Structure 1
Amino acid sequence: MVLLLLLAVLPLTAEARKSVLLVFDEDKEFPGLAVVNGSLREAFRSELGADVEFYSESMNLSQFPETGYDGVFYDHLRRKYAGTRLDLIVAVMGPSLDFLLRHGEALFPGIPIVFCGADLSDLEGKTLRANVTGALVKRTFAPTLDIALQLQPDIRSVFVVGGTSSFDRQMQSIARRDFKPFESRVVITYLTTLPMDDLLKAVSSLPPNSAVLYLTLFTDGGGLAFVPHEALSLITAAANAPVYVSLDQYVGRGAVGGHVYSLDAHGRHAAEVGLRILGGEAPETISVVEPADHRNVFDWRQLRRWGLDERRLPAGSIVSFRTPSAWDVYKWYVAGGATLLVVQSTLIIRLLASRAQRRRAQRSLAERLRFETLLSEVSAEFLTLPASAVDDRIERMLQRVVETLDFDRVALAERQGGTNTMHVTHSWTRAGVAPVPMVFEDEALPWLG
């Protein structure tokens, strides 16, 4: 019974697992394609978990531009996937979509195809079959040039840099269309057919008041293949003018930045379309989408390098790679230390004040105790004192009062009957201090009531 149950469950589990083939026009390890690859896989797995299996193929068109390569790649796929059941194919970039529009039905009859990385120009003159839908990317270069003119109002010359591959030329065609309205404001020169060494020399000696707009460079004028990101790094290192870009993956490689589109977000939009199909929706019921995945992103280091005023950037711009100032790094430590210092200082001041108050109280108490002790001793002496020794003992008592209470002089006086005149009967004065007058009026002295 258990064996029969397992045999019944296994086909259901295999049926539930989805198989997705990703087809790239170039090496999927290229930085931009790697981002799309990662975002596609992450988005599928976030919904399907372990119930999805990926296959991937790279056409490597910049390395194999020969006319007959199309048939070679076709035979490769036919043999490799002859016995494989696929649920979905994702065509990454326009050339991959072109290939699948030509050969998809022969290779993978009826399998839904979702494309991404293609723009409207890739679809011109082509008919999408019912099983084909996807996400368009809106490639636009005019906003980046407009931003460059805001940051550098004195620009006179703009140099557009690109390569010679079919994709490079397609980007240049879009750029020429976008830059037409600017031709009355600046001189636009296209550096798109030079070998890399000559290109680097050209951008290193541009005239004053220049800017560079980098498109893509898969192949240079000498026929050498490049990773566009690496080509950009060479160009920004050599250029004597700011370099602007329109792809978020290029920011951080020496370019100032620009109005860029996000490959990560674009890949996720394509995955959303694919998940709808895997969830049971028919491809023909899902319209092709063109999401707005552009942002204004800039490299703070390059703004500083070229002396460009950050306040001229469009509102809402993202400035990356900002080097924090010492205050940014340590401000919480400084604030915490200052707070601790204030609290500590307050406590110390309060402790000192409390100690001073306690000392004053102790001194007052000690003085009072000495005075009371003195009165007690004097009173005791006078109780048993003979009359003949009173005057002498009074003067000795006055001396003790002066010394105990730290006075300069002290005297006993009596009022003459019916008058305000006071006569001193006994006194004691420290050496060097004038004695109390023997006769004085009582108004001359302060009285304690």
Structure 2
Amino acid sequence: MMMGVFRYLVVVCVLLVSGAPPRAAAAESILVIESYHAEFPWDAGYKEALQATLGKKYQLEFFQMDTKRLPKAQHAAMADKAWRRFQALRPALVVLGDDAALKLLAQRLGTTTVPVVYLGINNNPRKYFDASVIKNITGVLERPALKRNIVFVSGILPKAKRALVLFDTDVTSQVVLRETFDGKHRQSINGVSVELKLVDRWEQWQTEVLNAKKNYDVIFIGLYQAVHDASGKSVNTSDEAVRWTSDKAPVPVFCFWDFSVGADKAIGGLVLYGKEQGRAAADLALRILSGTAPETIYPVTADRGRFLFSRKQLQRFHITLPAEIAAEANYTD
């Protein structure tokens, strides 16, 4: 009897000294590598959805690459840090948020057996990895309804024949130019002459907005989180760019993402939600964690957009929505 107790105590002491086996904890972890930062509402939206679905069973760990605010020269170093975090954690699954994370980490993660689910990908994923070689990665595509938005606005503002589309110069914006606008900065959409401008400096962004009425009837604001001032500092820690644009714009301002809509922001439009990307990615993750091989899951496209508006901004520009759209739309105020 005493010998049995002694052996039990020896085993317990060994486990305590060794810190307990780390593999058990790691098997219950999911690493979420964000291209951007926690304060970005897009990230907050998809993380909330991931936590709601996966957090019941798994410990979610987050790593922020902060590529919207950091200079491009530092992005590779942030990817290296994310890789080291992955190696230390040894998670059961990795979630990659947005194009920068997939672009910078797909090749390395593809050499492992750990399954990977991406979300928020605007580019063709094959631009980042060869799916015929790398079998452990699948995910959720993001397809902003840019052209559909312009068509919709031309319907409610029939006199609007000239449109300015403003984006920053980050990875996603470059993909939008190449994939959605076919690499063309100017084109006609539903009778509207559209000019797409990618702007990296806050001073230039301000000039474009203040002078908009000379050349345009409406502004569509895209991504602005990577816009910096002359000193290289990000101007968007609290959505300063969209609020300033809404306040100063001499023409109506519409947008493509939910985080840009508000009483002191853009009017709205047919927008994408970060939460929808998170929900779709979480569903794929659960399928994989239940035994489905990632290579058998074809990439999915999440919600293609829903109408979201600010009543205050609609009233400001005397815009009346068609009854069928007003009935199905959501409102921020």
- Which category describes the TM-score, using the shorter chain as reference length? 0.7 to 0.9
Q: CA deviation at 1:255?
A: 1.1
Kept in 1: contact 2:187–2:194 (CA 8 A): no
Separation of aligned partners in 1, 2:200 and 2:36: 22
Q: CA deviation at 1:174?
A: 4.2
Q: 5 Å matches for 1:46-195? A: 49=56, 51-67=57-73, 69-70=75-76, 72-105=77-110, 109-124=112-127, 126-128=129-131, 129-177=134-182, 182-183=188-189, 185-193=191-199, 195=201
Separation of aligned partners in 1, 2:172 and 2:248: 24
Letter in 2 for 1:265: E
Structural RMSD (CA):
3.2
Separation of aligned partners in 2, 1:155 and 1:138: 25
Gaps of 5+ in 1: 323-449
Counterpart check, 1:217 vs 2:224: yes
Q: CA deviation at 1:314?
A: 3.2
Query: Which of 18, 22, 31 is 2:28 aligned to?
Result: 18
Query: Which of 289, 310, 313 is 1:302 aligned to?
Result: 313
Letter in 2 for 1:217: Y
Secondary structure in structure 1 of the residue aligned to 2:322: helix
- TM-score, length basis structure 2: 0.81
Kept in 1: contact 2:38–2:64 (CA 8 A): yes
Q: 5 Å matches for 1:242-257? A: 242-252=252-262, 253-257=264-268
Separation of aligned partners in 1, 2:312 and 2:24: 52
Q: Which has the higher helix share?
A: 1
Counterpart check, 1:204 vs 2:207: no
Separation of aligned partners in 1, 2:222 and 2:298: 29
Which residue of 2 is the match for residue 377 of structure 1?
A: none
Kept in 2: contact 1:204–1:239 (CA 8 A): yes
Change (3 A) 1:271 1:4: farther
How many residues get paired? 314
Q: 5 Å matches for 1:401-420? A: none
Kept in 2: contact 1:171–1:216 (CA 8 A): no
Kept in 2: contact 1:163–1:219 (CA 8 A): yes
Separation of aligned partners in 1, 2:297 and 2:65: 27
Separation of aligned partners in 2, 1:156 and 1:32: 31
Kept in 2: contact 1:147–1:313 (CA 8 A): no
Identity of aligned residues (%): 21
Separation of aligned partners in 2, 1:210 and 1:33: 32
Letter in 2 for 1:154: K
Q: Considering only CA atoms, is the larger Rg found in Structure 1 or Structure 2?
A: 1
Separation of aligned partners in 1, 2:186 and 2:323: 24
Question: For 1:115-146, what per-residue CA distance to the aligned partner results, in whole angstroms no more than 9, with x for missing partners?
Answer: 00003434337313211011112223011111
- TM-score, length basis structure 1: 0.62
Gaps of 5+ in 2: none
**228-237 vs 156-165, greater mean Cα deviation:** 228-237
Counterpart check, 1:227 vs 2:236: yes
Kept in 1: contact 2:267–2:314 (CA 8 A): yes
Change (3 A) 1:83 1:245: closer
